[in-house]
Amino acid sequence: TLLFGSIGIIGNIICFMVVYRFSFQQQHSFVEYLRSLAIFDFLSLLFECIQSLHDLFLYLFSFNLLNFRSSILCKLYEYSNHVIILLACWTIVGLTFDRLILVCDPWAKKWPNLSRRICNCKCAKRIILFLIILSLIINIPDILYQKWICRQSGYQYSAAFIGKLYLNETQINQTSNRLICQCRTSPNLSRFQILFYIQWKTYVFHLFCYTLIPAIILLASNTVHSRRQIVGQKNEHLRSKLTRTLTLASIIFLVLYFPHAIVETFSILIFPKYRIHCHIRSLIIIRILKRLSELLNIAALGINFFLYILGVNHYRSAAIQMLGLHHFQFFLPYLTVEHRNSIGSNIFNSSQHTK
């Protein structure tokens, strides 16, 4: 997790800087989506790395790295984490849908000016702002129903546990004296509130917002592909190549991302039942699947750099120039003609000044 996350964080920083400083089509909508996607993916990977470090320190040194000691801080942390997760998912959906309307234009007969109205910089900013507000509203239950709690390890001590204890209490007290402090579902909630929060987290957040909506839109956007013939545009070849890259990115995102969403949803649905009946082998299998799917999810968040920056000639050339790699002979063939000319003119001007 730390390795994949660190590579993804560095890649998304480079992606944002290249798109922000060297974008060749500043007024186009996909530029705004790429900038926002780089920011949201960076923040999401940062949360993943922090959580991974927390688990590592807790396992090796019994040190709680995320020791908030306050319900307000833990609520804000969990709330921000879930907001960023949704935004990272929804932004690539918006980007794919934007490409669908601009390049394929499947509704041109019914709404002739739809691409001009939607696929512009101002509309992209409004859509991103709407997604931010929507994600903030959807994740309000994380603030209302969570609390900083220290308790013994074990599902039987959680707020969601309903039923009789089938284990020996004296044996539990002897083996689990250490308290685990974490942001959890508040035990002071009524049974209705606990049920509502669990149902919301399972069906609204994970199953609907986190899985079904992005899957349907991404699949629809990549299925409806009737290329629109545009004649006389200077950057049409570059734009069509970028569109192919973005389409490939959304497909890879589906393959890498949705196993995590599906495993997370099913684990919430069946995890309590297995814990009550002590199906240890099933619990271990679920945990292994969750860890593997988390790695795929981190790869999906960090792969944007390799697809957008390394896959598009102009952005790749800009990244080489920004990182100063154009001084090495190995990277010169990957520069565009414009960047080679600009580097040549800069060298010529500097030589004139020295004379």
Q: What is the pLDDT of residues 134-160, one digit of tens each?
A: 999 999 998 888 888 876 655 444 444
∠ CA 211-215-219, nearest 5°, is 175
Q: Is 147 helix (H, G, I), strand (E, B) or coil?
A: strand
- What burial letters (b/e) apply to 200-229, b meaning 16+ CB within 10 Å? bbbeebbbebbbeebbebbeebbeeeeeee
Give pLDDT tens digits for 83-128. 998 998 888 888 878 877 777 666 777 777 777 888 888 899 999 9
Q: Rounded distance, CA 243 to CA 177, Å?
A: 57
The arithmetic mean of pLDDT across residues 191-204, rounded, is 82
If you average pLDDT over residues 255-280, what whole number do you get?
68
- The structural domains of the chain, ordered by start, are 2-164+174-227+236-311 (1.20.1070.10)
Q: What is the pTM of this model?
A: 0.77
pLDDT of residue 239: 56
Q: Identify the band that residue 169 occupies on the pLDDT scale cut at 50, 70 and 90.
A: very low
What token pair was written down for 302? 């960090």
* Cβ neighbours of 260 (radius 10 Å): 22
pLDDT in the model for residue 255: 77
Give yes or no for a contact between 61 and 154, defined as CB atoms under 8 angstroms apart: no
